Amino acid sequence: MTDNSSPQLLFVGGAGIFGLTVDVAEQAVHQARKRGMTVHVTNHAATLATTPTITELVDATSVVDFEERGVTAAWAREQVAAGNRFDVVFGLRELALETVAETAAAVGAPGNPPEAVRRIRTKDEARAALAAAGFLQPRFRVCEDAGAAHEFLAQSTGPWVVKPRDMWGSEGVTRIESPEELTAALDFLPDWCDGTFIVEEFVEGPEFSAEGVFLDGVPHLLALTSKELLPPPNFFEIEYVIPAILPEHSAKEIEREVVAGLTALGLTHGQFHVELWLTERGVVLGESHVRNGGGWIHRMLAHAIPDLEWFGLVYDDALGNPIDKAALRPTRGAAIRFLTPQPGRLVAVEGWEEVLAHPSVLRAELTVGPGDIINPHRSVSNRIGLIAVGADTPEEAQALARTLEASVRFTVDPAAG
């Protein structure tokens, strides 16, 4: 039986196997430790075995399948019946978010309604809910085959986006300009799609995301992130800047729409990461997530808002700890560039050691070396490197990240790819 004298955190899904997810999970555990919390992690057996830095940090681990609906909630109820207690139920991984909500409800901990989390993870249901609540949304259709997709294309205005119903990280997402491009877009959908997919009208306008946390049940925006994407047909993000460089009135408009949208979707707890566009007609909300943003946004945000503990805010809110909301605004800037050298066989890399030695670098990764194949940059899974920096202003951070990216020289044999 666990010692119940300290606040108890159930960390559902722990870390994934990749460096980013491990770093996020480590930060979440460290911030729980600072609050005197006892941490119990559940995960798949193989992942627990391959993430020792997490298992060594926590008080207990259990093998529980967080991807199977209802399994973790049933396990948690058994733990409570045995005399244990969970004050906070938390998770970071996309596939764990519904389970987090179900489990919190099962043990009486603060959390989002499970049906609300299920709704935002199903892209068409989220779009329909926002449209019904009066928010600007593109026309869309859930399709089961190419025939249904062609029918929608004939009845709507292009360009269009073809994407899975419940994936993330731009996986399987393609922009098409004409019906003739549909076949290639369908071929790009992930193999494990259940046979259904979404076709929707493309939203014209610069893309942003909103990073924040729910405090007392209300969305509190921490910062906006501006994004640069590779040209279509795919949606590979190559730059983030925090806070976004845009006029104050535009930032306020986005903040109002994000807060209203999250409220309309019935969300009340945890972190949030909302994707959106600023168009001529106004703000168009995209996908909403009750987790931190990916792509090292958690590290960038912690530089932009000194002393920020994004995960700790979730615990503080759940435990009723005091929070100084006035301090939760950016006073510095951060930026990241995701490296996109020409596809082919990598022959040589120059300038990387100088990047690693730069004092303003928050994080730098290069996952390829001479002899490796660089695949076409079609989704976040193809990222081969990144450079994240911090500076006094977002403008300075953006300029430095671009300068450092340009200083790295890739020699690539495109024919060998």
Q: Where does a domain end: 174, 201, 228?
A: 201
Residue with tokens 């007392």: 216
**How confident is the model over 3-49, as pLDDT tens digits?**
568 999 999 999 999 999 999 999 999 999 999 999 999 999 999 99
Q: Where does a domain end: 156, 179, 201?
A: 201
Domain count, the chain: 4
How far apart are alpha carbons 385 and 369 in whole angstroms?
11
- Quick one: pLDDT at residue 4? 67
16 domain residue, yes or no: yes
User: In terms of domains, do 104 and 196 share one?
Assistant: no
User: In terms of domains, do 317 and 208 share one?
Assistant: yes
132 domain residue, yes or no: no
The CATH code of the domain that includes 188 is 3.30.1490.20
**How confident is the model over 227-283, as pLDDT tens digits?**
999 887 667 899 999 999 999 999 999 999 999 999 999 999 999 999 999 999 999
Residue spans of beta strands (DSSP E) within 280-332:
282-289
How far apart are alpha carbons 238 and 236 in whole angstroms?
6
The CATH code of the domain that includes 346 is 3.30.470.20
User: In terms of domains, do 251 and 210 share one?
Assistant: yes
List, for the chain, all residue ranges whose pLDDT scores fall below the cut of 50.
1
125 domain residue, yes or no: no
Q: Please provide residue 29's backbone torsions phi and psi, each rounded to the nearest 5 degrees.
A: -70, -45
Residue with tokens 């495109």: 414
129 domain residue, yes or no: no
User: In terms of domains, do 208 and 197 share one?
Assistant: no
Continuous segment of H or E residues that includes residue 254: helix 248-264
Describe the chain by its helix, strand, coil percentages, rounded to 5: 35, 25, 35
150 domain residue, yes or no: yes
Cα distances (Å, whole numbers) of residue 5 to 53, 76, 131, 187 = 25, 18, 47, 54
117 domain residue, yes or no: no
User: In terms of domains, do 216 and 325 share one?
Assistant: yes
The neighbour count for residue 233, using CB atoms within 10 Å, is 18
Rg (CA), the chain: 22
Q: In what order do the strands lie in the sheet with 38-43?
A: 60-63, 38-43, 8-12, 88-91
Q: 132: exposed, middle or buried (C-beta count within 10 Å: 0-12, 13-18, 19+)? A: exposed
Q: Where does a domain end: 109, 126, 157?
A: 109
User: In terms of domains, do 359 and 316 share one?
Assistant: no
Alpha helix stretches (DSSP H) within 144-247: 146-155, 182-188
- Quick one: pLDDT at residue 415? 85
User: In terms of domains, do 167 and 100 share one?
Assistant: no
How far apart are alpha carbons 75 and 79 in whole angstroms?
6
- Domain of 33, in residue numbers: 8-109
User: In terms of domains, do 309 and 342 share one?
Assistant: no
- Quick one: pLDDT at residue 79? 98
pTM over 0.85: yes
